[in-house]
Every structure is written in C-alpha cells, then in structure tokens.
C-alpha cells in the first residue's frame, strides 16, 4: 500500500493526454473549496449508463468568461480558507457597514446544525419559491462549482454575475482589509457577495446556511426571524467543542430575540442548550417530535411518500425525490421553518396550501446527497463526512437500493473522525476502495488503509490513490461476476471527493 507520491510516474505521452493528472498536481495546495476539478476528459468506462439532467453549473463555455472566473477563484484562494475559524465578526461587520448593510433589506431564514443543512436549505428554498417568493440561498461547501454557493430564484448565479458581484464588492473588501489586522477570509468575502447580490436582485427572502458553528460565523450578521437547527453531532470538535453541549452552544448563537427556533430531533444535552438560549432571548421554539414531525413514510420509486405534521396541521401524500429517513426528517424541519416564516402556528386553523407544498417537495434536488449518477452498475454519490452522516447514509442505502453487493469508494479528509465513518459503512460494504481527492486536506492513503484494515480486514480493502482509478476499480468489482448483477458502487467520505467523482462520471461538464 503506497501513497500517491510513490506511484509510478506516467510516461510523457500519457501525461500529455491526461488532464486529471495535471489537475491533481496543480490543486494539491489550493483551498479545498476552490478545488473545482476539470478532470473527466480522460475516458472512463464509468461514464456509460443512463444520462440524467444536471443541476450543477459547469465551467463557462466562453473562454474569456472562464478566464475571469478563474481569476476570481485564484484571488479568493489567497485568503484564509473557511476551515480556519476566528471567534470574531469584526471584519465581516465592517464590510457589511461599508456595503450599506445589504443583509438587512430582506427577511431571512438561518440554518445551522451538523448534518442536513444544505438539503434542508434547498427544501426551504423550494417551498418559498413555490409560494411565489423570490428567493436567495447561500450554502456551503459547493459540490463542483463555486457559483453554486449563491442562488437566486432557485438557480446558481451565472459565472458572469458571480464575477460582476465580486468586482462590485472588491473595492470595499480592500478597504476593510487595509483597516484590519487580518485580511477578510475566503468565506467572509463570499458571504458579503451573497448578501450584496440578494439585495441587488432583490429577493423576497434569503435562506442562509451557516458555514461553521453559528455564534462567530460570518453569516451571523443577519437577524433572521426563523432559526433552524438541524441535528447536532460531533464534528469540527477542534473548533466548536468536544461535546454536543458545547457544539450546540455555538450553533444556538444564531437564535435572535423574538425569533422562532425550528429544532430538529437532538441529543437531550444539545436540545437543553438551545432551549435555554431561546428562553434567554424570548424566542419561540418548535420541536420536531412535539410541535411538528414525520407522521409516516414509505419507500417509493425514486424517493419516498410522506405524511408530515406541520405547525398548521397534517400534509399528506408528499412525494420527496430523495432517499432515507434522514431526508424525511429534513423535509419536516423545512416545512415547519416555512410555516413559521409565514406565521402559521401562531393563528388557529391556518395551514399552507397542500398542493403547493406537494409541488415544492416534488421539485427538490440535492446534488451529491444519495445521488444516482450512473446505472449498470449503479453508482451513487453521497457527501457523508462524519459518523452521524455516514450512519444515515448507510441506513438509506440499505432501504432504498437493496444492492446484492455494494462496493465503497471512500476518500475522506484527514481532520475527520475517519474510523467512525468507516465503522458506519462496514456493515454495508462488501469491499472498500480507498482513495483521496486532490486537496491538501485529503487523508493520506497509507494512514487510511491502516484504519480500514482494522475495521474491514485486509481481504476487503483495496487502495487506489487516484480517484479516477478508484472509481474504475469499484465499477469493475461491481461488474465482476454474473451472480452480482445487482451490485452497486457508493462514492463517499467528503463533499470534495463527491464533487470530483461527479465530474469524472460525466456530470456538470
């Protein structure tokens, strides 16, 4: 088992025809959230199968626009990455002041938690849009393109608009940089871009996903009337705290006076912290399992059929084109958040139009979350990157797909609880192919292999340091024997790994 640096060097001819190899070398030292891989021109057998419509923007076709977007990405890459957290909102507050406080020109729904934030935010966005509100959504990290992070009317900003927005805020960013001890971070600049663009649109409502934590997060310069807290578990423990209570304390920092807190099911210790904060600021709390929740769910073709109890009553026969119990719970949280935003629950006998709710949920998509991107054999992508997320994904895979044999491709970041991730997937993986994505945060494959052998046993572990090779090997294993005609592949471990695999599999080009 060897790491990437010990691989045999390809000959000059193969190097010249393999852009993936060049990108891996070029991207290694780059901020992970700017690793928009252009790999995929290498022909993979993995590209065959049923094509699907894509919901993630590809690189601009216009060379000049592509060059301009790359220049913006390169400038952002010189700043602190978003994994570096400083407990201060001084810089972002100064930038918002310089921009004229754009984040105060529209109402907001603020979303935090450990898992399920992006899926929940997308569902909230779809619901608001179905009720004819113009929406802005700010999410992170992106799957493939940095432009995904800022959406207006349910669609990512065009590359042209993204570049324009950056150029508009850049003078103010430089002004604040000159006044502060540290320059604004990558995430702070993107946050300012999102808030400024939402004001320019203008939007009727913004759905804002916290980057990390809550209290000190750059997004927390809004006064959201609805604060959503998805399930809290251990992640980013070196920055947010080592216990559910400590992490919940950070996340509860988004709860503002007189707001409504929509609280997903939580560990008791985490829920207690949030409830205490709500009492302190006189916020109203809606709790999953008490004021709202999932009444019933059944597996359906392409997703699941739900009955949800909202703040205003029950909503039946809701088709959600996503798999897993965790997605049903995300849907219930999203519905309650939108009800709270519209004031449902504060008035007796009032509810949302069920037909509109059905339409909204039926339209939701979440790239990189239990996303089927190929058939014969099936390849599923999921961005699970901590043990709680991996457990939810493992349960959903078993329920929704029923593969006779499942091959895992796992490429995690080194700063995660990788053993916990592997242990969550061990019961469902017949074999696991270990790999890495192209960023410096990727876990060393030798260290990953040592952990995996302890969890899976040596006979079930293969190592392929290059992601394209790992996907190829996994598909070959799934196709290996006729008796395994129902075999599948799951690529997981990191949003970055999933994004790169998505491009390798022909999505988003």
CA quadruple 440, 445, 451, 456: dihedral sign: positive
Q: What pLDDT does 13 receive? A: 37
Q: Taking the mean position of all CA atoms in its chain, how far away is CA 193? A: 19
pLDDT of residue 349: 63
Q: Are residues 227 and 270 in the same domain?
A: yes
Strands (E) in 282-377, as ranges, are 284-287, 293-300, 303-310, 313-320, 371-374
Domain CATH code at residue 83: 3.40.1190.10
**Domain range enclosing 255:** 75-295+328-341
- Let me know if residue 390 belongs to a domain: yes
148 assigned to some structural domain:
yes
The label of the residue with tokens 């790992």 reads 470
- Considering the domain architecture, whether residues 42 and 103 belong to the same structural domain is answered as no
Looking at residue 60, what is its pLDDT? 85
* 285 shares a domain with 233: yes
Does residue 62 sit within a domain?
A: no
Q: Tell me: do 14 and 150 sit in the same domain.
A: no
What is the structure's pLDDT at 255?
95
Q: Are residues 99 and 47 in the same domain?
A: no
Number of domains within the chain: 2
Q: Verify that 84 and 169 share a domain, yes or no.
A: yes
Here the CATH number for the domain that contains residue 447 is 3.90.190.20
Backbone angles phi, psi at 394, to 5 degrees: -60, -45
Is 355 part of a structural domain of the chain? no
Instruction: Name the nearest CA neighbour of 270 among 245, 233, 236, 243.
Output: 245
275 and 161 belong to one structural domain: yes
First to last CA, the chain: 33
* Residues 247, 394 within the same domain: no
pLDDT number for residue 486? 86
Q: Is residue 258 part of a domain?
A: yes
257-278 pLDDT, tens digit each: 999 999 999 888 889 999 999 9
Contact call for residues 67 and 163 (beta carbons, < 8 A): no
| Residue 347 maps to a domain | no
Contact 49, 475 (CB under 8 A): no
pTM passes above 0.85: no
Q: Which residues of the chain have pLDDT under 50?
A: 1-54, 236-238, 241, 484
Q: Are residues 400 and 454 in the same domain?
A: yes
What single-letter DSSP state applies at residue 347?
Answer: S
């Amino acid at each position: 088992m060897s790491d990437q640096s010990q691989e045999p060097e390809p000959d000059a001819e193969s190097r010249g025809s393999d852009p993936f190899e060049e990108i891996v070398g070029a991207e290694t030292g780059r901020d992970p959230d700017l690793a928009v891989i252009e790999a995929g021109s290498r022909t993979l057998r993995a590209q065959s199968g049923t094509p699907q419509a894509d919901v993630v923007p590809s690189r601009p076709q216009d060379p000049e626009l592509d060059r301009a977007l790359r220049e913006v990405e390169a400038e952002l890459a010189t700043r602190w990455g978003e994994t570096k957290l400083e407990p201060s909102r001084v810089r972002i507050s100064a930038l918002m002041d310089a921009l004229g406080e754009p984040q105060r020109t529209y109402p907001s729904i603020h979303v935090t938690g450990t898992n399920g934030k992006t899926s929940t935010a997308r569902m909230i966005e779809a619901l608001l849009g179905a009720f004819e509100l113009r929406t802005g959504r700010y999410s992170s990290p992106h799957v493939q393109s940095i432009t995904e992070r800022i959406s207006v009317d349910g669609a990512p900003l065009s590359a042209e608009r993204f570049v324009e927005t950056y150029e508009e805020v850049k003078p103010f960013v430089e002004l604040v940089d000159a006044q502060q001890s540290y320059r604004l971070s990558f995430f702070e600049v993107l946050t300012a871009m999102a808030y400024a663009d939402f004001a320019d649109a203008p939007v009727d409502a913004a759905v804002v996903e916290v980057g990390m934590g809550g209290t000190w997060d750059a997004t927390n310069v809004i006064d959201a009337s609805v604060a959503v807290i998805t399930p809290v578990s251990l992640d980013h423990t070196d920055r947010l705290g080592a216990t559910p209570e400590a992490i919940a304390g950070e996340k509860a920092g988004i709860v503002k006076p007189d707001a409504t807190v929509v609280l997903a099911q939580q560990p008791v210790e985490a829920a207690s912290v949030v409830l205490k904060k709500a009492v302190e600021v006189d916020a109203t709390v809606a709790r999953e399992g008490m004021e709202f929740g999932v009444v019933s769910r059944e597996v359906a073709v392409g997703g699941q059929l739900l009955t949800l109890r909202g703040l205003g009553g029950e909503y039946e026969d809701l088709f959600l084109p996503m798999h897993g119990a965790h997605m049903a719970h995300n849907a219930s949280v999203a519905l309650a958040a939108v009800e709270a935003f519209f004031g449902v629950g504060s008035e007796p006998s009032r509810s949302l139009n069920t037909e509109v709710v059905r339409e909204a949920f039926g339209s939701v998509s979440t790239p990189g979350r239990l996303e089927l991107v190929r058939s014969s054999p099936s390849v599923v992508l999921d961005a699970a990157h901590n043990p709680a997320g991996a457990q939810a994904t493992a349960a959903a895979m078993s329920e929704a797909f029923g593969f006779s044999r499942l091959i895992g491709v796992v490429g995690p970041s080194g700063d995660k609880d990788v053993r916990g991730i592997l242990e969550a997937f061990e019961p469902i993986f017949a074999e696991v192919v270990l790999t890495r994505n192209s960023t410096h945060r990727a876990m060393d494959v030798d260290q990953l292999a040592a952990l995996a052998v302890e969890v899976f046993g040596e006979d079930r572990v293969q190592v392929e340091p290059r992601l394209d090779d790992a996907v190829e090997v996994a598909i070959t294993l799934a196709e290996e024997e006729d008796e395994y005609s129902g075999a599948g592949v799951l690529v997981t471990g990191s949003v970055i790994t999933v994004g790169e695999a998505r491009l390798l599999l022909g999505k988003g080009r």
